[in-house]
Chain A
Amino acid sequence: MMPSATLLGQALISGVLAGGMYGLLALGLSLSWGLLRLVNLSHFALAFLAAYLTYEMGTTYHIDPWWSVLLIVPAMFAIGLVQHWIFDRFKVNELASLLITFSFAVMLEVGIQLYWTADYRRFETHYATWSIKAGPFYIPVLELILCLVAGVLAWGTWLWLRKTYVGKALRASAEDADIAAAYGVDHKKLAYLLSGLGAAYAGVAGTFIALIATLAPAQIWAWLGVVFAVVIIGRLGNPLGALFAGMLIGASESIAMAILSPAWAPVVSFSVLIAILLWDPEWS
């Protein structure tokens, strides 16, 4: 039976907003994969580390997430630098980066589990359930803010890559690092900056994960598949593409759940990815 138009409209709104989280998570991943040829599987673990830190600061020290994010994002940036030092020190290539960051992720998962245990954690705020009513539809405020933040970050990053010399140098290095260096680009230094930035974006995502989701260590892996699909659909190294792809997948999943059943949701992202790759095998 076909659901009502109102239900479909609500599913579309919820899906697009939920897709903002996919886009936000995909952003950092897409940058390091597309521009540094490093696939960072630990990106999700870093986001969850940030989420747990947000939770810890909120519950133990009563620091509001809107303040703790100001500490967490620079801390994540620093972690990104340390991580890149390891990539740099051991001359890690694309394939090796998968293995190494997988082990990072497992270590972070174990660390999180040791400190916060495997219990589900929920960071309660009085504004978690706020929503705006627009006609027959409800728009959850937190998700809306998340989407706005993701939009500003994606758009800002896109402009940074297109308009600044550093951004152009990063794109040039991704194509031909030797020739970029021959024109003075110190790729190593820029790679550190970008790795730090990717981890900082994981920090932003983590703050919203703490506000919106229930935390458990194993959740680190929950978004892996769908966000990878989003990164490729959005094209590697394209921040706006990552955001739009996230919203597309979020909306498709949500509508599939409304029309078919929730069990179909995980199939959607890869179906869209396969369809796109069949249409244009050179897509990413």
Chain B
Amino acid sequence: MRITQGAFSFLPDLTDEQISKQVAYCLRNNWAVNIEFTDDPHPRNTYWEMWGQPMFDLKDPAGVMYELSECRKVHKGRAYIRLSAFDATAGWESVRLSFITDRPEEEPGFMLVREEGEGRNQRYTTRSYAAEKPMGSRYAV
């Protein structure tokens, strides 16, 4: 399967040139770009690990691309990596763009667990196959 979180998951994986253009778009809007990674891509896992702080006051996408390459050295293949852009403007003060840049070779996906209740009610749990394993060994490299 292919996890479709983020703004561009239905397109072929973005090249570094394409990623850099998206970063440039964020910087033009004065958004701070943050690199995040996780090996628990549950749809409600909001807090991916931060690769350093969001990069404020950056002028050139090269700074983000350098940090992305450093993050990849450690996590590529073992985790999902995404870029998130934060807008501090009044009335927003939240993420304005978020997309996955790297994903593991194999994405085992999720199991839907049902608990049958009364009146045909069901309680659903989405369980990640990968997250059954201990942290750090969830995806083959």
Q: Do A and B bind? A: no
